[in-house]
Structure 1
Amino acid sequence: MKKGKLFSIAGITFASAIVLAACGGGTSSTKDDSASKSTSSSESGNMAKEQVLNLIEGAEIPTMNSVMNTDATSSIVMNNVFEGLYRQDLKNDSVLGMASEEPKVSDDKLTYTFKIREDANWSNGDPVTAKDFVFSWRRLVDPATAAPYSYMMAGVIENAREITAGEKQPDTLGVKAIDDKTLEVKLEKAVPYFKGLLSLSMFYPQNEKYVTEQGDKFASNSDTIIYNGPFKLTSWDGTGLSWKYEKNDTYWDKKSVKLDKINVDVVKEVSTALNLYDNGQIDRIGLSGEYVQTRQDDPDIKKLPTSYSFYFKFNQKRDGKDTPLTNENIRKAIAMAYDKQAYADTVLQNGSIPSGGLVPEGLAKDPKNDKDFREENGDLLKFDAKKAQDYWKKGLKELGVDKLDLELLSDDTENAKRSSEFMQGQLEENLPGLSLKLKNVPFKVRINDNDKQNYDIQLSGWGADYADPINFLELFGTTNGNNKSGYSNEKYDDLLKQISTTSLADPEKRWGQMRDAEKLLMDTAGIAPIYQRYLTVLQKPYVKDIGAHLVGADYSYKWAYVTEK
């Protein structure tokens, strides 16, 4: 979703996530968000009379239905127009959102009782109630909804796993409205990162009366949605390349929202975005490739790490038939046949680093010795053309063929096309007999192809929803709704089960099992890691206090403002 979520490949979708705030892994500390001084930096410079930002995204909005969201672009938009029980502030702390105070927690840490703000309202004037959370959460786990992120509640909220499996009814979910403003949540087990989940889009509320009235039209455009966050989405027709945010006057903390409007346009070519920035039409853009090199001395340039991990997904079943990628040796061959460092240096050129595993650097630390997960597990799949060719020969022999024709799916942005061409050259050169056809499509189309498993190899990626390695590792469990690759390993599934159940009470044991799980995924080449994204952006000096988040939605505009130019 980031949040754990699918996102545009090597494009500029997340170029707006800039380092204006401390970018830690997020904490569990909470505080009342009503006083802007506690979450916003002090204002610097004279406030501009016109509080308007002009921004770009690198991809269209695939959905505005919070129950169905899986991608980062939608997560960014939803984070600014909706609000859950908590949200992340400028320091990446969890601060109170729709919740008016910290919950009462039972001694066994399984029952949480939340109070919803009395002044929390939807943009149509309806109050936000505990029933809105009950309705939305039940929709998420209802098999009839087929929500890809329903697994986020499985093993966390009581009965969620059984409901998604069709064994129990949605109304048995461990969530109940005690009254209009009191929400009770029962957990299946004590979950150390529970509060961190509550700012994510799948935990947002939905107004049952409004959703029911809209029917199939709900969330199809900006006029068929109501909002409970800092902004309202406007001028979005459901498929277009532009939209706007406008300040939401019904938001409980509207006094903290300084921006009146944000204009957003989808621009997929960095060269076009750079021209718009230099001409003063856009206030912030992302750079990549040669553009980073040409602007190294620009005082507007900023760089920051992200929790986004990019990799090849290998689809083992397409159109109901096994693909050549069911062969482990073929997967290993491809995973070791491209030079990740050369790719980072010559194609990305933005500070991104080669990755030796699925879990990104900086996400989480060993509870025993405080060492980073990536450092401890090391580089598990290195570039080695000779070993790759050995695996390739074995795989071809096992398949009874001497050549393979495969397809590489990716986005249609300028950088995604360059990435595809680089990988095509590397793989065809290092694996004799491989013919790799490129398929570059719009982001929304790629998501659809992914969901239908309509691909052979996909250049894909994931951003952390919360600061725990399981957020990445669970993606390739056999029953995970975001797997969409056909990868299935009984030992891997057993490790995931223990990590999320019996090992929760033993952090050190759980940590070791997560390390073992990633090693197993790499040993079997379930995926092939490529790089961890770093962002290079240009931002006008008059833009202040945009919240950049390492986990969850990439950025927040709640506290942003502009000073006089």
Structure 2
Amino acid sequence: MNKFVKNSVLMSVALVAVAGASTQVAHAAGKELNWTLTGDLKTTDPSNVADIPSQNAVQATGEGLYRVGTSGQPELAAAQSVDVSDDGLTWTFKLRDNLKWSDGSQLTAHDFVYSWQRTNNPKTAAIGSMFFSGIKNADAIQSGKVTDMNQLGVKALDDTTLQVTLDRPLPQLKAELAMMYFFPEKESFVTTTGKAFGTTAKDSLSSGPYVLKKWDGSSSTYQYVKNPYYWDADAVKTPAVNVTTTADATTSFNLYNAGKADFAQLNATQARNSKHKHGFTTVHTAATTYMTMNQKNPVLKNVKLRQAMSYAVNREKLAKNVLTGAAEPAKTFVAKGLTKDPNTGKDFVDTAHTKYVSYNKAEAAKLWAAGLKETGKKTVKLTLLTGDTDAAKQTGQYLQSQLETNLKGLQVSVKSVPAKQTSALTKAGKFDLGLSTWNADYTDPVDMLQTLVTGASWNLTGWSDPKYDELYRKATVTDADDKAARYKDLVAAEQYAENQGAVAPLTYSKITALQNPDVKGVYVNPVGGTFDWKHAEKK
């Protein structure tokens, strides 16, 4: 889940060229875009998207009640108007009259009802279900306490009127409704395709600017073609976006330099050597990379040992020397630029930062020795699971060196595997230490802090703490309608998680890339991290 910022995380960022000294390379003629991405497209099922390539696909081919506009703010999309009750608990949306699916059939309010019910149904086991918390009966349905899906707080009053009812005020609702998990789904199409839904281009259906083509479920190349049935098709200037999935940054870099790609993300070495090039760009993202510590391992249940591992990592050197140009040292789990103190205007990370997310060799050694004594251990062997990208492998090797050097008796082996395998092993709890990146989905600390709540679908480590859960509950329930109190609760939750070593934040992400200067209007949502080609145009 992923992202970019400029001035504020509330602003989407156009990927623009930075002037340089080198001669511009030739690029393919015509108005189609040629884009390179690392990572395989896995699904176009809006309910079950987790990885960035799949998020790109669903954002390109789908659309909800809101869409994040070029200002970075949610703007009405499939909905043309909304009426909110005085208590903030009932939202009534009027849909546009000309909404259609890419097969030409009418898109109605009933498609939203079906999608939301499917996502919340425990039988679906949808990744996106956690974002519905606060919508009437969503939590009860997901837990199995309520089995009647019609009790979910969403109703179609008629074909073009959708009513959403909440259990409690949700300050972040508008931003959430722009997320793909809230996109409509056509019941007859989903049931007809069955388990194949979202696994190939022919088993996908579009409601957004583009239609997916030429993807058989494992293709390394595929295409987004302009959707003629999209309600705002006149705003879409690019007839097609041709995507090439590359195994590494070197392949993307070579394609760009050969004039066969309009965009290529760079690794650290390439970024250092490309700063002079016309088309070089750097974009901050609302993303935090962090080390997870699996609570299934008894050793990692010890808070002192977890604290020691966080203290043992020099984040400054990791960002500067290992991930040159592609990261900055993290001070918190919540990403930088995500939100500001409502009273002072300070960034959340500056308010919530504690000493536990910093480099302190002496404190690391002290806590490690104390933790070993408490667990009765003299030596510890752990495996660090990472992805197989250049950045992931380099970070894994650096962490291995830091942990073994600064923590006496610790032996770390690094296991780097492809993204699909990393995801499967992590979800199955088959790891000791892990390297994860959480890209905020909307502009609220809740998006990231909810992943540490007991039993949360994205709680990757199994960490559970009643005090943390209560701090989170205060922010999202008790003080949900009090902006200042809610903010203090969120700061307290972040600080407590740092204190307990729930995870070890490492870096805030940046994207360094080369983009054809002739391509304008491509936006990356700071808190979605996906490319938005709706307004893209190659001159």
Per the normalisation by structure 2, the TM-score is 0.94
1:138 aligns to what? 117
**Aligned partner of residue 478 in structure 2, secondary structure:** coil
d(CA) in 2 for partners of 1:306 and 1:456?
27
1:264 aligns to what? 243
Q: Identity across aligned pairs (percent)?
A: 34
1:551 aligns to what? 527
Q: Is the 8 A contact 1:89 1:547 kept in 2?
A: no
d(CA) in 2 for partners of 1:400 and 1:200?
47
Aligned positions, number? 525
Determine which of 280, 288, 295 is the counterpart of 1:301: 280
Distance 1:106 1:27, change over 3 A: farther
> Is 2:431 the partner of 1:447?
no
> Is 2:84 the partner of 1:73?
no
Q: What is the Cα deviation at residue 49 of structure 1?
A: 7.4
Q: Is the 8 A contact 1:103 1:114 kept in 2?
A: yes
Q: What is the Cα deviation at residue 25 of structure 1?
A: 3.0
1:411 aligns to what? 387
d(CA) in 2 for partners of 1:414 and 1:362?
26
Q: Is the 8 A contact 2:130 2:456 kept in 1?
A: yes
> Is 2:142 the partner of 1:164?
yes
1:391 aligns to what? 367
Q: Is the 8 A contact 1:314 1:458 kept in 2?
A: yes
| Alpha-carbon RMSD | 1.9
1:26 aligns to what? 10
Distance 1:549 1:275, change over 3 A: same
**Aligned partner of residue 54 in structure 2, secondary structure:** helix
Q: What is the Cα deviation at residue 2 of structure 1?
A: 4.0
Distance 1:196 1:66, change over 3 A: same
Amino acid at match of 2:333: L
More divergent stretch after superposition (180-189 vs 268-277): 268-277
Q: Is the 8 A contact 1:355 1:379 kept in 2?
A: no
Q: What is the Cα deviation at residue 50 of structure 1?
A: 2.2
Gaps of 5+ in 1: 4-16, 29-38, 42-47
**Aligned partner of residue 81 in structure 2, secondary structure:** coil
Q: What is the Cα deviation at residue 504 of structure 1?
A: 1.3
Amino acid at match of 2:144: G
Determine which of 450, 454, 460 is the counterpart of 1:484: 460
Determine which of 187, 202, 213 is the counterpart of 1:208: 187
**Aligned partner of residue 471 in structure 2, secondary structure:** helix
Q: Is the 8 A contact 2:311 2:359 kept in 1?
A: yes
> Is 2:346 the partner of 1:371?
yes
Q: What is the Cα deviation at residue 23 of structure 1?
A: 6.2
1:401 aligns to what? 377
Q: What is the Cα deviation at residue 261 of structure 1?
A: 1.3
Q: What is the Cα deviation at residue 68 of structure 1?
A: 1.1
d(CA) in 2 for partners of 1:451 and 1:242?
28
> Is 2:51 the partner of 1:51?
no
Q: Is the 8 A contact 1:200 1:553 kept in 2?
A: no
1:464 aligns to what? 440
2:260 aligns to what? 281
1:535 aligns to what? 511
> Is 2:475 the partner of 1:499?
yes
Q: What is the Cα deviation at residue 351 of structure 1?
A: 5.0
Amino acid at match of 1:374: V
2:24 aligns to what? none
d(CA) in 2 for partners of 1:534 and 1:178?
44
d(CA) in 2 for partners of 1:510 and 1:332?
27
Q: Is the 8 A contact 1:23 1:550 kept in 2?
A: no
1:106 aligns to what? 85
2:324 aligns to what? 349
More divergent stretch after superposition (191-200 vs 378-387): 378-387
d(CA) in 2 for partners of 1:123 and 1:484?
36
d(CA) in 2 for partners of 1:323 and 1:430?
21
d(CA) in 2 for partners of 1:560 and 1:166?
44
**Aligned partner of residue 439 in structure 1, secondary structure:** strand
* Moved beyond 6 Å, runs of 4+: none
Per-residue CA deviation, residues 432-479 of structure 1 (Å, 9 max, x unaligned), is 222211111111221111211111111101111111111111110002
Gaps of 5+ in 2: 17-27
Per-residue CA deviation, residues 506-548 of structure 1 (Å, 9 max, x unaligned), is 1111111111111110111000010001221111111110012
d(CA) in 2 for partners of 1:560 and 1:27?
17
1:179 aligns to what? 158
Amino acid at match of 2:351: E
d(CA) in 2 for partners of 1:136 and 1:52?
32
d(CA) in 1 for partners of 2:530 and 2:189?
28
d(CA) in 2 for partners of 1:269 and 1:417?
12
Distance 1:40 1:553, change over 3 A: closer
